[in-house]
Structure 1
Amino acid sequence: MIEPNGTSEKGYYENIIVICPTCKSKKNLKIPTKIINQSKQLTTVSIPSGTVCDHGFQSFVDKNFKIRGYQRVDFEFAKMEFFEGGGDIDDGYIQDEETTSLSSLPLFKDIIKLLRSYVDTKEILGSGLFSIEGNVLYSSLPSNTLFSITKEFEVRSEKKLSNLKKMYLELENNQKICSNYIEIQKMRFALVLFFAHTVKLGMGNLYLNDLVKKIKELEG
């Protein structure tokens, strides 16, 4: 069992000011430093409507926690998201992004869409895709949970336990984290779903198995 609120470590967050590209509203947001530091160049932060203003948008943050650009979106996401890479923006300011082998492929965008589609406000509270060392490729997990799960992956990697197929964790508030190691494009990753306290581990495992199956279908 891991603590639900183990994120008080100094230096875990960095404050950045984001500006909505539509209405120019501003807000100071706390961004986990680990995600930005591990990225090779840029990190995309998806900001849902209601966080800064009535609009949802994406910001592209570099390793110095400077915002390099924004992008309006024509879809809605329920949670704040982080994922590796900066994508393309209209003025071409962000291009030739250096990313991992997976996040540079069109398949990565399809996987993000699939992970996003699984998240709701009742049962599945977040999702994520990680390297086996704990680096974040994509996450819509709450910050506290994200910190806990990355630490868990780091420990398992150091102890050479990444040959395990699945991992189940239960927080003190009975929320659950279910993870499945999966091979995508001959690379190994950890897939994570975060469940509300009302979801039983057996049901969580069914959701996770279904997600793995759909990713394999995307891969062809």
Structure 2
Amino acid sequence: MIESEDLTVREDYQDIIVICPTCKTKKDLKIPTKIINQAKQLTTVSIPSGTVCEHSFQSFVDKNYKIRGYQKIDFEFSHMEFYESADAEVEETDGPTVNLSSQQLFQDIIKLLRSYVDDKEILGSGLFNVDGHVLYSSLPSNTLFSIIKEFEVRSEKKLSSLKKMYLELENDQKICSNYINIKDMRFALVLFFAQTVKLGMGNLYLNDLVKKIRKLEN
């Protein structure tokens, strides 16, 4: 078992003021700087209802923490989400992260990951590259930072050839990850489970997720 304190990673935040595109309510939100700094393009921040106001919406944040725009949405989600989004004005477009995030398949995978989170058994989900670069996350901040650090360490030790990763926190919450090749690029899927979920059941959820992604590719 891995102690939760050992998994805790300190992370700096940047304050940004967001404005709801529907009711114009303003609020100061703290955004993890590491996620913004990792992105080669814009970072989409999905803001659930109750965070700023009664509306759910998305903001698009550039690498200078400037909001480039907002979008009203017609789907529901319960956690703040971060993922890299395409921007035609940005010249840095090399690498597997950008290649995937610019495809419709990436949006379909995000919808699938979002659909798995039920706040009862599955508390969050994510998609990372093998170096810990966040492509999509609805994970709680502390869990997200811990996973980034774990992938970074595994990359440094050249352990990314491993197929799966299971972590159990001190409070019995579980993190299950499965490395997967998507369009000839290697990534890691992550599901974050409540205390009541056994690792065996978590593995079944993860296998089911992989099968559904394979269907999306076809």
TM-score by length of 1: 0.92
Judge conservation of contact 1:3–1:148 (CA < 8 Å) in 2: no
The structural deviation recorded for 1:2 is: 4.4
How do 1:98-137 and structure 2 match up within 5 A? 98=93, 100-137=98-135
1:112-160 deviation per Cα after TM superposition (whole angstroms, max 9, x unaligned): 0000000011000000000000000000000000000000000000000
In 2, distance between residues paired with 1:12 and 1:135? 16
Residues 6-51 of structure 1 show CA distances to partners (whole Å, capped at 9, x for unaligned) of 24x3x52111111100001111111111110010121000000111
Give the Å deviation of 1:173. 1.0
Deviation at 1:172, TM superposition (A): 1.2
* Count, aligned residues: 211
Aligned partner of 1:145 in structure 2 is: 143
Match of 2:43 in 1: 43
Q: One-letter code of the match for 2:185?
A: M
- Name structure 2 gaps, 5 residues minimum: none
Distance in 2, matches of 1:2 and 1:154, equals 18
Match of 2:4 in 1: 3
Paired residues for 1:202-213 under 5 Å: 202-213=200-211
- Counterpart CA distance in 2 for 1:157 and 1:75 is 35
Residue 60 of structure 1 corresponds to which residue in structure 2?
Answer: 60
Query: CA offsets, 1:189-211, max 9 Å, x none?
Result: 00000000110000000000000
Between the aligned partners of 1:66 and 1:211, the Cα distance in structure 2 is: 34
Q: Secondary structure at the match of 2:102?
A: coil
CA distance in 2, matches of 1:136, 1:57: 20
Q: Which amino acid aligns with 1:14?
A: Q
Separation of aligned partners in 1, 2:113 and 2:24: 29
1:152-167 counterparts in 2 under 5 A? 152-167=150-165
Counterpart contact for 1:2–1:169, Cα < 8 Å? no
Equivalent AA in structure 2 for residue 219 of structure 1:
E
RMSD, matched Cα: 1.4
Identity of aligned residues (%): 76
Structure 1 partner of 2:199:
201
Give 1:78 shift.
1.3
- Output the amino acid matched with 1:21: P
AA paired with 2:109? I
SS at match of 1:190: strand
User: CA–CA distance in 2 between the matches of 1:152 and 1:37?
Assistant: 18
SS of alignment partner, residue 101 of structure 2: coil
Partner of 1:31: 31
Partner of 1:170: 168
